[in-house]
Amino acid sequence: MTWQAVAKTATGDLQSTKVTAVTVTHHLEEGSHTVVLHAPRGTLSPQTHDAFLQDAIVEDSFERRMKIPALTYHRKPETIVGSGPIEIDGPGYSLSASQLEYKLKNGSLFLSGPVEGTVSMTTKRPRSERSHSEAP
């Protein structure tokens, strides 16, 4: 697994660093699964590489996009825990939940409620197959 964090500003020490305009990229060595977290503000731990992010957007290799108001990223167990309201959009579905646990190793999402959503019988084409003029 590789991990990278880039921020516009960073203030703190090795225990806790406050950041703005932060992007955290988590790439699993086994396979091609990548998870990218974006947030306007948060706190990173340079020693553990864990993060607490506010108003985060999470995008992954499964074409899911999640809006998570309060997110905790744990690098070593490779998990994300979030509290909401959380919005999740993917190919052919849109969900909302109060809480989320995301296991990065296998891509599984555990949602707790209330959990609501819609599922479409037609699925979207992958982003790589869409023209730049098409809406997502």
Per-residue confidence band for 79, with pLDDT thresholds at 50, 70 and 90 = very high
The answer, yes or no, to whether residue 96 has pLDDT greater than 70, is: yes
The answer, yes or no, to whether residue 29 has pLDDT greater than 50, is: yes
pLDDT, mean of residues 48-54: 92
The answer, yes or no, to whether residue 135 has pLDDT greater than 50, is: no
pLDDT tens digits for range 60-76: 999 999 999 999 999 88
Q: How far is CA 13 from CA 17, 20, 24, 46, 101, in A?
A: 6, 15, 18, 8, 28
Q: How far is CA 107 from CA 10, 89, 110, 114, 116, in A?
A: 30, 14, 10, 21, 20
What the chain holds in terms of domains, given with CATH numbers, is 2-123 (2.60.450.10)
Per-residue confidence band for 133, with pLDDT thresholds at 50, 70 and 90 = very low
Mean pLDDT, all residues of the chain: 86
The answer, yes or no, to whether residue 83 has pLDDT greater than 80, is: yes
The answer, yes or no, to whether residue 87 has pLDDT greater than 80, is: yes
